[in-house]
Amino acid sequence: MGRLVTGMPAPLFRTRDSFGTPLHLADYRGERLMLSFYRYASCPLCNLRMHELLHRYPRWQRRGLRMVAVFESPAAHIRRYLDRHAAPFPIVPDPDRRLYRGYGVQGSWAGFLRAWTRHLPMVFDAVVRKGFLPGHMDGDWTMLPADFLIAPDLCIADAHYGKHIGDHIPVERIERFLDGTTRPQGHHES
């Protein structure tokens, strides 16, 4: 499937989180949802993003946001590397990348290299300052992140496809989504 844009129905799926609990996208009808695709469970930049989101999530959750994170790692690796975050939302293993394909999330060698050459301070912060050392690398090393803000009618309110391995949707766009002032961003590639 190609890239999703604002106004498109979010592709429905049924899966299980890293603990085996069933998860159905349709169960989020009537709620605001942020569906985030990451790389592998020990990815330093992915762990940095999770760390940052977890500080904001309690406030966002009070404002009605639900979150689901998807990693291309198997459940055992997710539990090994991500349990330290104690995320209060589901983390989904997708080692065969079925959900990635359904949402048009792909890899890019240029995007992989861009983070290491142009965004070295971000990599330094993740590895040295926060201690998120890379471990077992699952799946496609060049996978780029993507974030989807899904409206209560299960349509895409905002789609962000990363240009490099540390590029996630800006916090300001999540805030606008919660405020109900989301501007169409489906074609945006910041």
Q: Which domain holds residue 63?
A: 14-179
23-32 confidence digits (pLDDT tens): 999 999 999 9
CB 121 within 8 A of CB 151: no
118-152 confidence digits (pLDDT tens): 555 555 555 545 555 555 667 777 899 999 999 99
CB 71 within 8 A of CB 39: yes
Answer whether residue 110 is part of any domain.
Answer: yes
Answer whether residue 125 is part of any domain.
Answer: yes
Q: What is the CATH number of the domain that holds 39?
A: 3.40.30.10
Ranking 9-13, 81-85, 94-98, 162-166 by mean pLDDT, the lowest is: 81-85
DSSP structural state of residue 34: E
Answer whether residue 184 is part of any domain.
Answer: no
Answer whether residue 189 is part of any domain.
Answer: no
Q: What number of CA atoms fall less than 13 Å from residue 152's CA on the CB side?
A: 6
What number is the average pLDDT over the span 61-81?
94
Number of independent structural domains in the chain: 1
Residue 146's pLDDT is: 97
User: Mean pLDDT score of the chain, rounded to an integer?
Assistant: 85
Q: Give the Cα separation of 181 and 152 in Å (integer).
A: 14
Q: Which of 123, 30, 17, 25 is nearest to 69 (CA)?
A: 17
Answer whether residue 167 is part of any domain.
Answer: yes
Answer whether residue 119 is part of any domain.
Answer: yes
pLDDT above 90: percentage of residues in the chain: 59
| Burial per residue of 120-158, b for 16 or more beta-carbon CB atoms within 10 angstroms, e otherwise | eebbebbbeeeebeebeebbbeebbbbbbbbbeebebbb
* Residue 84 pLDDT class (50, 70, 90 cuts): confident
